[in-house]
Structure 1
Amino acid sequence: MNQALNGKRVAIVAADGFEESELSAPRDALKKAGVEVDIVTPDGKGIRAWAETDWGDTYEADKALTDAKEADYHALVLPGGLFNPDELRVNEDALSFVKAFFQAGKPVAAICHAPWILINAGVVEGRRMTSVPTVAQDLRNAGAEWVDEAVVVDNGLVTSRTPKDLDAFNAKLLEELQEGRHSGQHA
């Protein structure tokens, strides 16, 4: 357990069809470091994972998006997958929740297709980021600088490409959470 992270709280926002490892690995790394983690879903009900090629386990929710407040958390994690970010990027409650973390200067970590959510929240312009390659042009079109690297950190915004990058993603997430607010994080 990391004393500097003790008492920190992180929200993981996801919907059905999230890539299972992209939720479970960050959650487990955070909990191992002594961080409290809430899984926040659109309706506060359990969500079903996508496990690479087929449906995976169901994960219980701790809160509904409408009951979650940015002020209750120190950071936000957005797992990817294909279905999950596609649903969340058109969910106004999810977009408002995401934007609030940027406005507060708090760390946000997004992996795989999750930058779609950030694009629709209007928070990627001028940022250096990575993602799964199929989202690269979407990020460029939204004004981000896309690079093909395992993990990219830009003023509290942590992004990674795929599950193979989870070790680097989790390490940077923990580092940014320990650093706290970032004045360069903006909406």
Structure 2
Amino acid sequence: MMKCAIFCANGFEECEALLVVDLLRRASIEIEIISMNDELEVLSSHNVKVIADECFMDANFHEYDALILPGGLPGTTNLQANERLASISFKTC
């Protein structure tokens, strides 16, 4: 079974993150919401609080088949500024 991760930083766009989560779960594709914060709570660009499944620092990225980076401002700016995220390397097929 495919397993995906979606990285949510403060300021993410709700539609670009939560719609993806909803659709993949409806398709029986496992997806975990990863908080880029040091806590599970992430705040969207429109101040919607979302509780993630896991914090970035605790995630094992080698267990995922796909990584999803949702848009929104300042969420994308916060993702881009995260050096730990930028340093992840993956084996390609």
SS at match of 1:16: coil
Which position in structure 2 is the counterpart of 1:104? Answer: 91
Which of 62, 66, 70 is the matching residue for 1:75?
Answer: 66
Could you say if the C-alpha distance between residues 57 and 31 of structure 1 is closer, same or farther in structure 2, counting changes exceeding 3 Å?
same
Show structure 2 runs of 5+ residues with no match.
none
| Alignment partner of 1:48 out of 43, 54, 57 | 43
Q: TM (normalized to structure 1)? A: 0.46
Alpha-carbon distance in structure 2 between the residues aligned to 1:49 and 1:75: 22
Relative to total residues, which structure has the larger helix share, 1 or 2? 1
TM-score, normalised to structure 2, is 0.87
- Assess, with a 3 A threshold, how the Cα gap between structure 1 residues 44 and 74 changes in structure 2: closer, same or farther: farther
Question: RMSD of aligned C-alpha atoms?
Answer: 1.4
The gaps in structure 1 that reach 5 residues or longer are 1-6, 106-182
Q: Quick one: percent identity of the two aligned structures?
A: 33
**Structure number with larger C-alpha Rg:** 1
Larger RCO, structure (CA 8 Å, separation 6 or more): 2
Which residue of structure 2 aligns with residue 14 of structure 1? 8
Aligned residues: 92
